[in-house]
Structure 1
Amino acid sequence: MYHLFCQSFNYDNSPTREIKKSNKYNISPCSKKDTNAESAGIIVYLPNYRAKDVIDIQKFDFTNINVIIYCFFRIDDNGEPYSSNTSVDIKKKTIYYLNNDVKKKYPHLRTVLSFGGASGSKNFGTILNSKDKISNIAKKIADTMTTHGFDGVDIDWEFPTDSTQSKNYGTLLKEIRSNIGNNKILTISAAYNSNKYNGYAKTYMNYINWFNIMTYDFAGSWNKYSGHGSPLYSPTNDLNHQKSCDISINSYLNEGIPSNKLVLGVAFSGQAWKVQSSANNGFNQKGTTNTEGQPGNTEGIWTYMALREQNILVSKKMTSKPWFRTWHSDAKSPSLFNPYTMQYISYNDKDSMCERIAYVKMKNLAGVMMWEIGQDYKRELLDSLIFCYTNN
């Protein structure tokens, strides 16, 4: 069934090489009675800096998107929430337009405000180290959500470093839920593996709607060999012994968290390596990520937008010479290789979008989220994902 609807998506013919291998309210735990306990559907992360010059929220079509997670607000060392970009958020009135004009046009759409981020959560372990501090911050987070007209809260803490911090995280989520009530959304941008939370992930599920799992960045500068940034399944004979989306999801399921609490993350960016051999079309070869990426980047980072704008990809699947595309059937992921510059790039494309949606359906997950829509090119990845999600 899946292959039929994916084939109907008008895939273009392209020179692709395939490597075939074997494969303060009275709170209660979120339940089906809660307003927002239904499936997540399609979630997009929208960083405020993308709303400055990439995404025009007043013109963007949100018809088939269920949730926008707008990021980031941060929390200072005194426990006060603040915008990470007041010029865009407040002066440009992006938040106002999002929660008024946009939601009026798309009444089904729900908006969530994210607090933290990779760099913006570095102080969380310190400011969330006592019950009084946690209660105070939780109330201020809820007040900020309400003041700006959002429908919920996302916490992006990367990551608790020990059992005490993991326990405090659970207390924070409990306090936020107490303040916002059960009819608002509460999610976390979750670690790739549930063990990051030292056994407390099952506690979190009592208070949050979904774990938005960051199932990407599985390979990078820390690896000796070229790999896949976000493989659906672990590649065969992989010298990095890297993780995969499937391993990530199963870590949560094995901890007793139900599938309808889990959202699969999809990356709209790729990772390049400069490799020493062209064997295996550049995959699984010794190399370094200290190589040219998109303009201005020397760490091998390529957004999908940059791959298209720099004409490495001249269409959704067609490459410019001398680049060629390889489909890795074991990992359900594509890669690009230039035999002259010896650059190998792991990324996502329209085929891998459909594979991930098929996985979401097979596993009965709550939905799919993407980081992030500002890295797309003319909605090519987003529309591929939406088509496969809504036509199965």
Structure 2
Amino acid sequence: MRPVPAEQRPFVHGAYYPSWKIYRKQPPSCMDLDIITHVYYAFIRVREDGTIYHLDEHADLHHPIPPGPPGCLPALTHLRATSHPHLKLLLSLGGGSGSAPFPTLASSPTARTTLATSLAAFVRLHALDGVDLDWEHPASPADGTHFLALLRALRDALPAPRYVLSAALPAGEWCLRNIPLAAVAEVLDAVNLMAYDFAGSWTAGRAGHHARLFVGRGEPYDAYAKRSGHGAVDYVLSKGVPARKVVLGVPVYGRSFLGVRGPGEVFEGCGGEAGGVVEYRELPREGAEEVVDEEVWGASCWVGGGGEEGKAEEWVSYDSPRTVREKARYVRERGLGGLFYWTGVADKKGEGSLLRAGYEGLYG
């Protein structure tokens, strides 16, 4: 399928680019930018006083990326200027390991103003198109009130329609209930629902589909298994968020569980990288058959244990092209704003691409 002309793309089809991927020889150009509308550059960090700083200044501005300019941020703006003029480049602020300063920062009018002023200057200096706020996560109603105040300060400094303002939010009522969602949606261009990590090393010892669209009949076997992409979408819509502003998140990675054959079983540990993460490009595991559960729309693979090396059996939950196409169909049917992916660089090329499956599902 050929890329749809930019002026005919009503959906957000975004991807996060983490700066540390440059050290794995995954520059911004390795993403399929022809089919991406928004790139969220992760991350810029904040302090409690509202000042900002680079997570990795070398990666952001100085790392060699031939044949273009050095630094991931200049590389992205160069790609936009030379071959992808449709791209919106957003600065993602915070992140899961960079959110500790937000409660104090957001509660202070002075710090909010400092942050808004600093971010606006950074965005203009680097010719970016906006900001994505990734506060993980507002943990109380007071945090939610301050979250709204912070977004309003950012919007004042980065006015629409020139600048795009989005926020990444967990896809669960446990967090969303703390946020005045209807008022937040009035300020934002998009609410990026992180509809993944429903299962992992933290989920009471039980394996599960970590990016399920729906809850299956055999679930919930624990509180975590009550969560789903569909449930989160229903919740934010019920609280007044316009459907067209809801962007559904897709993980380009799996979650590994050792010593189990499937969801609901008590696992013994996690394979892969920290927290059981396995990049999608490495899935399914060698010798394993990929299975799609059409009840929940989650993919998985299983590898038996034993052998000379004494390996434990492993079950990995992830998204596949089939499940992503189904999520794209869901987005169309519900009138949502589109899809985004964490990350754009862990994908496969060709027929196995999740981003390609999502794009074709939205426009095919």
TM over 0.5: yes
Q: CA, structure 1 residues 178+39, in 2 after alignment: closer, same or farther (shift >3 Å)?
A: farther
Indicate the larger mover: 251-260 or 299-308.
Answer: 299-308
Determine if the alignment matches structure 1 residue 325 to structure 2 residue 287. no
Look up the SS of the partner of 2:35 in the other structure.
coil
Q: Could you tell me whether the CA contact under 8 Å between 1:121 and 1:158 is conserved in 2?
A: yes
Work out which of the residue numbers 230, 235, 238 in structure 2 matches 1:254.
Answer: 238
How far, CA to CA, are the matches of 1:144 and 1:209 in structure 2?
20
1:219 matched to 2:199? The reply is yes
Question: Structure 1 vs Structure 2: percent identity of aligned residues?
Answer: 23
Counterpart residue number, 1:186: 165
User: For residues 1-392 of structure 1, what are the structure 2 equivalents within 5 Å?
Assistant: 39-58=10-29, 60-92=31-63, 93-183=71-161, 184-193=163-172, 196-197=175-176, 198-221=178-201, 222-238=203-219, 239-240=221-222, 241-275=225-259, 278=261, 282-288=262-268, 290-293=269-272, 297=273, 299-307=275-283, 312-313=285-286, 320=287, 323-340=288-305, 341-378=312-349, 380-391=353-364
The range that moved more, 373-382 or 237-246, is 373-382
Aligned residues: 337
Deviations 1:281-330 (A, max 9, x none): x3322223x1332xxx364321112336xxx25xxxxxx2xx22222111
Shift of 1:199: 4.4
Per-residue deviation, 1:60:
4.5
Secondary structure, aligned partner of 2:92: strand
- Larger RCO of the pair (alpha carbons < 8 Å, separation 6+): 1
How far 1:68 sits from its partner (Å)? 0.7
1:303 is matched by which residue type in structure 2? E
What is the one-letter code of the residue matched to 2:277? I
Structure 1 unpaired stretches of 5+: 6-35, 314-319
Question: What is the alpha-carbon distance in structure 2 between the residues aligned to residue 178 and residue 136 of structure 1?
Answer: 12
TM-score normalised per structure 1 = 0.81
Q: Could you state the TM-score of these two structures normalised by the residue count of structure 2?
A: 0.87
Runs of 4+ in 1 over 4 A off after TM superposition: none
Aligned to 1:22: none
Alignment CA distance shift 1:284-1:367 (3 Å): same
Q: C-alpha distance in 2, partners of 1:213/1:112?
A: 16
Following superposition, the deviation at residue 125 of structure 1 comes to 0.8
State whether residues 30 and 345 of structure 2, in contact with CA within 8 Å, keep that contact through their aligned partners in structure 1.
Answer: no
Instruction: Give, in whole Å, the separation in 2 of the partners of 1:78 and 1:350.
Output: 43
Identify if the C-alpha distance between structure 1 residues 329 and 386 changes in structure 2 by more than 3 Å, giving closer, same or farther. same
**Of 106-115 and 188-197, the range deviating more from structure 2:** 188-197
Would the alpha carbon gap of residues 302 and 103 (structure 1) be closer, same or farther in structure 2, given more than 3 Å must change?
same
Judging by fraction of residues, say which structure has more helix. 2
Alignment RMSD (CA, Å): 2.1
